[in-house]
């Protein structure tokens, strides 16, 4: 029975609960494509043609109507969609929100909101990052072949393909074993190009080191089999027991991944992609995004109008 379930087309889970606060309202979702498409439109387009069978969005209740009218309506007839909701009080039985806490509990909590609607292998991405067609094809191929529990993966981008010309960035620098399985992800800050040295980063001792151009980094593009939800649910309850009284503590997907690796519950294959990631880390990055999408369209990678 489990093998039959895992043989279904994979689902794409898009974390969009932060959209309202991040952009100042859905009406201000930035149209960066040639026909006014948002970055998220490109992710849905790439996922559909890569072989994903459904898209699930994690949003907040307060902008549900606007999201359905202005975002979901574009995808009708293209790919099935579903919506789940993240809120600060969406907690397991026996737990409560500490007085003064306003924000939900992080990306790990957001992903858990989809456990009742996803029963097949699935990918998780951010709503406001451009990942590129090749990354979705690579991810769909892996997930469509997942036939047992604990087959996790992440798309590892070459660090040189994820930098901003407008300033430094932070990235999760990955290490993997000889078989290509993830062994650790270390958050590195102040990553940038320096003339004469190449790509550098600053460590916890404020010392700078060189990173090879092809070093894999995590851009929060993960792939999981549905047993992820059971593992994550248990870990979230542990997290709440230990840090649930804190007003700003957050439960992150990489924490679940790390625990899965070290407990032997899952292996996390690092999938390589030549795709260029980009997003609007700085206001000055917007024009680069616009120009990049225009160039990809001109090259025939995308149609003039996605929908």
Please write the tens of the pLDDT for every residue from 122-152.
Answer: 999 998 889 999 999 999 999 999 989 999 9
CA distance 261 to 180: 13
Provide the pLDDT confidence category of residue 3 given band limits of 50, 70 and 90: very low
Given a cut of 80, whether residue 54 has pLDDT beyond it is yes
Average per-residue pLDDT for the chain = 89
Architecture of domain 2-298: Alpha-Beta Complex (3.90)
- Residue of 256, 269, 74 lying closest to 176 (CA atoms): 269
pLDDT score of 20: 58
CA distance 149 to 70: 37
Where exactly are the structural domains of the chain?
2-298
Extract the tokens encoding 127.
């709503």
- What pLDDT does residue 6 have? 47
Higher pLDDT, 298 or 273: 298
User: pLDDT tens for residues 76-101?
Assistant: 889 999 999 999 999 999 999 999 99
**Res 24: pLDDT:** 56
C-alpha to C-alpha distance for 139 and 46, rounded to whole angstroms: 11
Instruction: For the chain, give the percent of residues with pLDDT over 90.
Output: 63
Contact 275, 132 (CB under 8 A): yes
Phi/psi for 32 (5° steps) reads: -110, -10
Of 69, 57, 51, 74, residue with least CA distance to 117: 57
CA 32 to chain centre: 19
Weakest-pLDDT range from 41-55, 232-246, 254-268, 269-283:
269-283
Is the pLDDT at 250 greater than 60? The verdict is yes
pLDDT in tens, 175-229: 999 999 999 888 788 999 999 999 999 988 889 999 999 999 989 899 999 999 9
Q: Over the range 251-270, which residues count as b (16 or more CB within 10 Å of their CB) and which as e?
A: bbbbbbbbbbbeeebbbbbb
- In the chain, DSSP assigns E strands to 11-15, 54-59, 81-85, 122-126, 151-158, 169-176, 182-194, 198-202, 208-211, 216-224, 267-273
Q: Is the pTM of this model over 0.85?
A: yes
Count the alpha carbons within 13 Å of 295 in the hemisphere toward its beta carbon: 7
Q: Which of 124, 146, 138, 125 is nearest to 8 (CA)?
A: 146
pLDDT of residue 31: 86
Dist CA 200 CA 282 (whole Å): 19
The owner of tokens 């792939």 is 223
pLDDT of residue 5: 44
């Amino acid at each position: 029975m489990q093998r039959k379930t895992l043989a279904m087309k994979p689902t794409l889970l898009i974390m969009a609960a932060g959209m309202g606060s991040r952009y100042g309202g859905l009406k201000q979702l930035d149209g960066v494509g040639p026909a006014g498409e948002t970055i998220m439109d490109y992710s849905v387009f790439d996922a559909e043609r890569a072989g994903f069978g459904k898209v699930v969005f994690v949003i907040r209740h307060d902008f549900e109507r606007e999201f359905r009218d202005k975002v979901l309506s574009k995808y009708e007839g293209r790919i099935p969609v579903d919506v789940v909701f993240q809120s600060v009080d969406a907690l397991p039985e026996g737990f409560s929100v500490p007085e003064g806490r306003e924000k939900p509990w992080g990306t790990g909590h957001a992903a858990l909101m989809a456990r009742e609607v996803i029963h097949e292998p699935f990918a998780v991405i951010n709503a406001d990052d451009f990942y590129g067609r090749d990354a979705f094809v690579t991810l769909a191929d892996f997930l469509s072949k997942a036939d047992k529990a604990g087959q996790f993966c992440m798309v590892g981008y070459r660090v040189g393909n994820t930098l901003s010309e407008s300033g430094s960035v932070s990235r999760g620098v990955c290490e993997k074993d000889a078989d290509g399985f993830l062994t650790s992800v270390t958050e590195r800050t102040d990553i940038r190009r320096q003339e004469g040295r190449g790509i550098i980063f600053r460590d916890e001792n404020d010392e700078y080191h060189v990173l090879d151009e092809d070093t894999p980094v995590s851009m929060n593009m993960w792939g999981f089999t549905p047993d992820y939800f059971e593992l994550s649910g248990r870990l979230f309850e542990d997290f709440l027991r230990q840090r649930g009284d804190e007003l700003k503590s957050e439960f992150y997907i990489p924490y679940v991944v790390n625990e899965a690796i070290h407990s032997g519950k899952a292996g996390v294959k690092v999938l390589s992609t030549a795709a260029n990631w980009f997003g609007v880390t700085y206001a000055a990055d917007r024009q680069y995004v616009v120009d990049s999408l225009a160039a990809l369209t001109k090259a025939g990678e995308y149609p003039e109008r996605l929908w």
